[in-house]
Amino acid sequence: MVFPADKSVLVFLLCIWAVAARGQPGQSQEPTRIPLYSFSLHPPFIEDNLNNRWWNFGGDTIVESNKFIRLTSDRPSQSGWLWGKVPLTAAGWICEIQFHVHGENSLYGDGFAFWYTSEKEIQGPVFGSKDYFNGLGIFFDTYNNGRHREPFPIVSAMVGDGKTYYDHNNDGRSNQLASCSFHFQGLESARATIKYIRGELLEVRTTTGVTDNNGVLMWNDCFSVTNVTLPSVGYMGFTAHTGDVHDAHDILGITTTGLVNSGSSNLPPARGSASSPVSQPKPYNPVQSKGSVGSALLTALLVIVGILVLAYVVWNVVQQQKSKSFKRF
């Protein structure tokens, strides 16, 4: 039998568990970032048997093991590629690329591309890869074929369905998802991050290597597009192409992280213009954020309090039963 005082305690206990289950209102939880080593690449780029465990390269690609992977040299009519050997199936990920595009001539081209597609290692006319691709292409385009007013070089995106062509003569404008200007040609510390959350977000940021007073890289928003869905299984790759104009296209490093438990409530707020600096993407940390730490501590504390209250209720009931038994005698 539970008396009114015990009922009040039980109501209090239920309230505690309700608060613990709901968590702290108004907090958004950042997705956990997990390093994906099989989709990352850093020096030395090749192993003792002159290959890489997770990546293939071919075409005109040259590998300087401790320096760079050169997709094309600064020569005309070259085409090279670098593709991951295993498919990427994560629903959310961020890929950070460090690269160097450079040449000796005042006229340069054509550029290089980042790929997440259902097919790989097929050379073709789209920055060295196949046309009518299925998946995502991010194009770092250095040559203005269509004589657009937008300053070149540019970074643009296209999501292909396997049936739509890339409009090379118009720099992909016919089927372009978004773009921004990014003056990376000749920069030794150019970087870009590509963030994808399935069905929700595709975001690209860039940096020229400039740091703030604390030595932290200053990142710029390039573009952000919502409601983007790519193939659930895709291969990550990089390709480059030169024509009559040419450049050396060097990949210096690739860092890929998976995003776990990402959702619409985890999306970052809208940022400023493409020229406004933003903070560098956070490194992976098993403790996701200060908010999540506080929420976890509060939940643990409430659970402990709940256990103590429950123990008191049980003890009180047992004492009352003993008292009744004693009175009978």
- Domains held by the chain: number: 2
Q: Are residues 13 and 51 in the same domain?
A: no
Residue 218 located in a structural domain = yes
Please check whether residues 191 and 88 belong to one and the same domain.
Answer: yes
- Amino acid 287: pLDDT: 35
Q: For residue 108, what pLDDT is reported?
A: 87
pTM: 0.72
Q: What pLDDT is attached to residue 48?
A: 73
Same domain membership, residue 201 and residue 179: yes
User: In angstroms, rounded to a whole number, what is the distance separating the alpha carbons of residues 111 and 279?
Assistant: 27
Residue 207, in any domain of the structure: yes
Q: What is the pLDDT along the chain (329 residues), one digit of tens a residue?
A: 444 445 555 555 555 555 554 444 444 567 899 999 999 999 999 987 778 999 999 999 999 999 999 999 999 999 999 999 999 999 999 999 999 999 998 788 899 999 999 999 999 999 999 999 999 999 999 999 877 778 999 999 999 999 999 998 899 999 999 999 999 999 998 999 999 999 999 999 999 999 999 999 999 999 999 999 999 999 999 999 999 999 999 999 999 999 997 444 333 333 333 333 333 333 333 333 344 445 566 667 777 877 876 777 676 766 776 665 545 44
124 & 140 share domain = yes
> By the 8 A CB rule, do 242 and 300 touch?
no
Taking the chain, what is the end-to-end CA distance rounded to the nearest angstrom? 20
One domain for residues 319 and 227: no
DSSP state, residue 41: B
Single-letter amino acid, residue 277: P
Does some domain include residue 122?
yes
Per-residue confidence (pLDDT) for residue 34, from 0 to 100: 95
Is 181 within a domain?
yes
Shared domain check, 273 and 167: yes
State which amino acid sits at residue 100.
H
For residue 13, give every residue at least 6 positions away whose Cβ sits within 8 Å of its Cβ, in sequence order, or none.
Answer: 306, 309, 310, 313
CATH of the domain at 89: 2.60.120.200
Radius of gyration for the chain, computed over Cα atoms and rounded to the nearest angstrom: 28
180 in a structural domain = yes
pLDDT of residue 298: 65
Of 102, 257, 255, the C-alpha closest to 192 is 255
Cβ-based burial of 327 (10 A; exposed 0-12, middle 13-18, buried ≥19): exposed
Same domain for 269 and 302: no
Please indicate, yes or no, whether residues 48 and 191 belong to a single structural domain of this protein: yes
The DSSP bridge pattern shows strands 277-278 and 55-59 to be unpaired
Chain-centroid distance of CA 223 in Å reads 14
Residues 245 and 319 in one domain: no
CB atoms near residue 98 (< 10 Å): 19
Query: Distance between CA 249 and CA 299 in Å, rounded?
Result: 51
Do 145 and 19 lie in one domain? The reply is: no
Q: Which two tokens stand for residue 137?
A: 């292409």
d(CA 231, CA 211): 36
User: By three-state DSSP, how is residue 265 classified?
Assistant: helix
Does residue 309 share a domain with residue 191? no
> Domain residues for 309?
4-25+296-328
Statement to judge: residues 268 and 315 lie in one domain: no
Furthest CA-CA distance within the chain: 108
Residue 27 CB coordination number (10 Å): 13
Provide CB contacts within 8 A for 274, sequence distance 6+.
180, 181, 220, 221, 222, 223
In a domain, 285, yes or no: no
Confirm whether 291 is domain-assigned. no
**Which tokens is 196 given?**
């994808």
User: Phi and psi at residue 107, in whole multiples of 5°?
Assistant: -100, 130
Q: Which helix (H) or strand (E) holds 295?
A: helix 290-328
Residue 283, in any domain of the structure: no
